[in-house]
Structure 1
Amino acid sequence: MSPRPTARVLTTGLAVACCLATLTAAPAVAGQVGAAAQLCGKWDSTPVEGGRYIVQNNVWGASTPQCIDVNGTGFTVTTAGHNNATNGSPASYPSIYAGCHYRNCTTGSGLPRAVSQLSGARSSWSTSVPSQGVYDTAYDLWYDPNPNQTGQNAGELMIWLNHRGSVQPVGSKVATAQVAGATWDVWTGNIGWNVISYVRTSPTTSVSNLDLNAFTQDAVSRGSINRSWYLTSVQAGFEPWQGGTGLATHSFSFSLG
Structure 2
Amino acid sequence: MKTLRQTSRSIRLALSVIATALALAVGSLIALTVAPAAHADTQICDQYGSTTIQGRYVVQNNRWGTTATQCINVTNSGFQITQADGTATGGAPKSYPSVFNGCHYTNCSPGTSLPAQLSAIGSAPTSVSFSYVGNAVYDASYDIWLDPTPRKDGVNKTEIMVWYNHTNPVQPVGSRVGTASVAGRSWDVWTGNNGSNDVISFVAPSAIASWSFDVKAFANEAISRGLAQNSWYLTSVQAGFEPWQNGVGLAVTSFSSSVNLGGSTSGGSTSGGGTGGSGGTGSASCKVAFAPQTWSGGYTANVTVTNTGSTALNNWKAGFTLHSGQTITSAWNATISPSSGSVTATNLSFNAQIPAGGSQSFGFQGTYSGTYSQPTGFTLNGASCS
Q: Taking structure 1 as the reference length, what is the TM-score of the superposition?
A: 0.83
1:193 maps to a residue whose letter is: N
What residue number does 2:144 align with? Answer: 141
> Which runs of 5 or more residues in structure 1 are unaligned?
1-32
**Higher RCO (Cα < 8 Å, 6 or more apart):** 1
Counterpart pick for 2:45 among 40, 57, 64: 40
Distance change (3 Å), C-alpha of 1:173 and 1:119: farther
> Which runs of 5 or more residues in structure 2 are unaligned?
1-37, 261-386
Q: How many residues align?
A: 222
Q: 1:17-166, aligned counterparts within 5 Å? A: 35-50=40-55, 52-85=56-89, 88-166=91-169
How big is the shift at 1:195? 0.9
1:44 maps to a residue whose letter is: G
1:192 maps to a residue whose letter is: S
| CA-to-aligned-CA distance 1:139-181 (integer Å, 9 cap, x gap) | 1111111113422211111100001120111111112001111
What residue number does 1:198 align with? Answer: 202
What residue number does 1:186 align with? Answer: 189
How big is the shift at 1:34? 6.2
Q: Taking structure 2 as the reference length, what is the TM-score of the superposition?
A: 0.56
How big is the shift at 1:127? 1.2
Structure richer in helix, relative to its length: 2
Residues 94, 237 of structure 1: 8 Å contact kept: yes
Residues 144, 229 of structure 1: 8 Å contact kept: yes
Q: How many angstroms apart in 2 are the aligned matches of 1:142 and 1:117?
A: 16
Q: Which runs of 4+ in 1 moved over 3 A?
A: none
What residue number does 2:265 align with? Answer: none
Q: How many angstroms apart in 2 are the aligned matches of 1:73 and 1:147?
A: 28
1:49 maps to a residue whose letter is: Q
How big is the shift at 1:35? 2.5
2:88 maps to a residue whose letter is: N
Structure 1 residue 230 corresponds to structure 2 residue 233? yes
Residues 115, 152 of structure 2: 8 Å contact kept: no
Residues 150, 235 of structure 2: 8 Å contact kept: yes
How big is the shift at 1:63? 1.1
Residues 144, 232 of structure 1: 8 Å contact kept: yes
> Which entry has the higher C-alpha Rg, 1 or 2?
2
**SS of 1:224 mapped into structure 2:** coil
